[in-house]
């Protein structure tokens, strides 16, 4: 069986979700091709060709593909879909945007956000904000699946797959207007080994930056936030960790001033070690935290900074 | 302009769900149900478009058991004009829902379908995209701002890394993200008035759509429980524990 993985990229570089989706694809079959969509993506294609286990890299370029417009992305995937039994897409905002469109055009039921490949037609995925795991078996001949990157290890390097150019695609009814990306020198949230997250307790955007960012920088961590902190305007939208934001699974997740609502836990409860700092000893976050400090963040975070310095960090 | 808003009746987002001991699903007996939070945001946006004069009719549609009528009434109390309830005892998959909605669109001819980005039960995040694919319409998902002008809509979308703005031709499908708006509460007089608004009673058979499931649920299990942690006395203790665990 042949499997197509659609790469996640920003036109300049491959994103980590691609390597993880290749791992899921290799559990299905040894015949895994990667499709790179974008504009000016020869560098991305070269990176994809180096992923171990990849048989071939297809490159589809056009202006609409460079801006991640779903109609064009779905059409580009459909143009090559005939040769594949399964199409796997990283469950990022871009992947979730076009994958269901591909499925509808193929008249198949998409399987969203899988966390496990049980067999070639059976997959496990979280439902109800991660409070239940559903195992489904598909009867569709062609499968369209989005893969939760944090649930799979990244495929290694060392491959040397040939690169082939295929046709681009256009989106006649949609025009790109502008984009506004949050600039950050910190590691990407979804791929970071350590995440420091702040909640509503911070009280203001200034306080959020003053408390959370220095700690994150000291640890080389990415910054996350609860929905409450994002809704209150303390942190940008794309910092949000949870059912409706990003799903992370770092080695260390430090939740500061976050109560631990169901929807937040859905985004971080697979972290290896969870640390909670909260002055409310009854906050639900303590029920899943490996280590908890019942303390006001105003004293606990400076103490933690000092302790890290003392420990040579 | 006519706006069609699909809404879903789901388990209330505050309820802690329980998996049935026989692993056939989640226990929904005697559990509080509500309108999916993202659907509320879509209804609110449609009503705001009407209040701004950009839309002249807001039609609410729901697919589900007879009780989904309550969900439609809630949307009508928020400002929807009339409802369509397609009853079914099955829990149709996103593909079937998209096909049913496409049939409703063919009948109603709306200029805009405004819906939630995902339902908090299945967490699929698929129906809006699938509906626009079936209709051959453009899509704008995860909307945090919508500006309708003439035959197009300018939609700002929440994407990984920031925001993106697209201009789409109408008719189109737009799915609402959390920050699009703050949904209003229905007032008591509006709840009373909503009782008089018309809800057309339909069934899946009326649309001739095959809703047979493509996916067989093998089992529904509880996620692995995390072992209980410890509360520490000081930041120094914390750092030494983290060093021992090898994460620092």
For strands B2-6 and B57-64, give the pairing: parallel
pLDDT tens digits, one per residue of B111-164? 999 999 999 999 999 999 999 999 999 999 999 999 999 999 999 999 998 999
When pLDDT is cut at 50, 70 and 90, the band that residue B231 belongs to is very high
Q: Which residue in chain B is spatially nearest to A188 when comparing CA positions?
A: B161
Give me the DSSP letters along B84-148. Answer: EEEE-SS---HHHHHHHHHHHHHHH--SEEEEES--TTT----HHHHHHHHHT--EEEEEEEEEE
Given a cut of 90, whether residue A54 has pLDDT beyond it is yes
Tell me which DSSP letter residue A190 carries: G
- Which pLDDT belongs to residue B90? 87
Given a cut of 90, whether residue B227 has pLDDT beyond it is no
The beta strands (E) that lie in chain A are given as: 2-6, 31-38, 54-61, 86-90, 111-114, 116-119, 122-127, 132-138, 143-147, 163-166, 174-181, 194-198, 222-225, 252-256, 273-278, 291-294
- Which pLDDT belongs to residue A295? 96
Given a cut of 90, whether residue A185 has pLDDT beyond it is no
pTM for the structure as a whole: 0.95
- C-alpha dist (Å) from residue A56 to A48, A81, A160, A162, B147: 9, 14, 9, 5, 43
Which of A132, A248, A287 to mutate to test binding with chain B, by most B CBs within 10 Å of its CB? A132
- Which pLDDT belongs to residue B198? 98
How much is the ipTM here? 0.95
Interchain contact, B129 vs A132, CB within 8 Å: no
Token pair 């305007």 in the structure block, residue: A233
- Which percentage of chain B shows pLDDT scores above 90? 96
Q: List the one residue out of B91, B36, B62, B86 whose CA is nearest residue B215.
A: B91
Q: Which residue in chain B is spatially nearest to A183 when comparing CA positions?
A: B161
* End-to-end C-alpha distance for chain B, whole angstroms: 58
- Of A238, A281, A310, which has the smallest distance from its Cβ to B161's Cβ? A238
- Which percentage of chain B shows pLDDT scores above 70? 100
List A residues 257-296 in contact with B (Cβ-Cβ < 8 A): 262-263, 269, 272-275, 281, 286-294
């Amino acid at each position: 069986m042949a499997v197509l993985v659609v790469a996640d990229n920003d036109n300049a570089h491959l994103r980590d979700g691609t390597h993880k989706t290749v791992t899921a694809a290799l559990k299905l079959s040894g015949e895994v091709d990667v499709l790179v969509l974008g504009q000016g993506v020869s560098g991305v294609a070269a990176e994809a060709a180096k992923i171990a286990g990849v048989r071939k890299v297809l490159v589809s370029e056009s202006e609409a593909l460079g801006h991640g417009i779903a109609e064009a992305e779905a059409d580009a995937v459909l143009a090559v879909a005939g040769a594949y039994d399964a199409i796997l897409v990283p469950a990022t905002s871009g992947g979730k945007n076009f994958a269901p469109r591909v499925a509808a055009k193929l008249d198949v039921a998409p399987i969203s956000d899988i966390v496990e490949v049980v067999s070639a037609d059976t997959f496990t995925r979280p439902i109800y904000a991660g409070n239940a795991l559903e195992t489904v078996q598909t009867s569709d001949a062609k499968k369209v699946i989005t893969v939760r990157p944090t649930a799979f290890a990244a495929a290694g390097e060392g491959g040397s797959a040939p690169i082939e150019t295929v046709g681009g695609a256009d989106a006649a009814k949609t025009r790109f207007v502008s984009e506004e990306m949050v600039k950050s020198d910190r590691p990407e949230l979804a791929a970071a080994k350590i995440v420091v997250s702040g909640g509503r307790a911070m009280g203001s955007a200034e306080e959020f930056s003053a408390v959370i960012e220095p700690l994150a920088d000291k640890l080389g961590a990415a910054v996350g936030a609860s929905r409450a902190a994002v809704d209150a305007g303390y942190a940008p939208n794309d910092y949000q960790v949870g059912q409706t934001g990003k799903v992370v699974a770092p080695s260390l997740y430090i939740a500061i001033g976050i109560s631990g609502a169901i929807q937040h836990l859905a985004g971080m409860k697979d972290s290896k070690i969870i640390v909670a700092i909260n002055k409310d000893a009854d906050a639900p976050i303590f029920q899943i935290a490996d280590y908890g400090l019942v303390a006001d963040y105003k004293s606990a975070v400076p103490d933690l900074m000092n302790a890290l310095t003392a420990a040579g960090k | 302009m006519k706006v069609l808003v699909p809404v879903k009746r789901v388990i209330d987002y505050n309820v802690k769900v329980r998996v049935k001991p026989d692993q056939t699903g989640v226990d929904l007996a005697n559990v509080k149900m509500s309108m999916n939070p993202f659907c509320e945001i879509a209804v609110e946006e449609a009503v705001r478009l009407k209040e701004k004069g950009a839309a002249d009719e807001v039609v609410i549609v729901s697919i589900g058991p007879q009780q989904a009528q309550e969900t439609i009434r809630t949307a009508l109390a928020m400002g929807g004009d009339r409802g369509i309830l397609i009853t079914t005892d099955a829990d149709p998959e996103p593909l079937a829902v998209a096909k049913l909605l496409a049939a409703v669109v063919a009948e109603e001819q709306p200029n805009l379908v405004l819906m939630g980005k995902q339902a908090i039960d299945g967490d699929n995040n698929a129906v809006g995209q699938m509906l626009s694919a079936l209709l051959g319409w453009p899509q704008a998902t995860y909307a945090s701002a919508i500006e309708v002008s003439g035959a197009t809509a300018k939609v700002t979308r929440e994407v990984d890394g920031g925001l993106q703005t697209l201009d789409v031709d109408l008719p189109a499908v737009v799915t609402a993200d959390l920050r699009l708006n703050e949904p209003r509460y229905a007032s008591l007089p509006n709840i009373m008035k909503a009782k008089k608004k018309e809800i057309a009673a339909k069934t899946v058979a009326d649309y001739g759509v095959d809703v047979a499931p493509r996916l067989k649920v093998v089992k529904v299990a509880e996620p692995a429980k995390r072992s209980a942690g410890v509360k520490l006395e000081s930041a120094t203790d914390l750092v030494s524990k983290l060093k021992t665990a090898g994460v620092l």
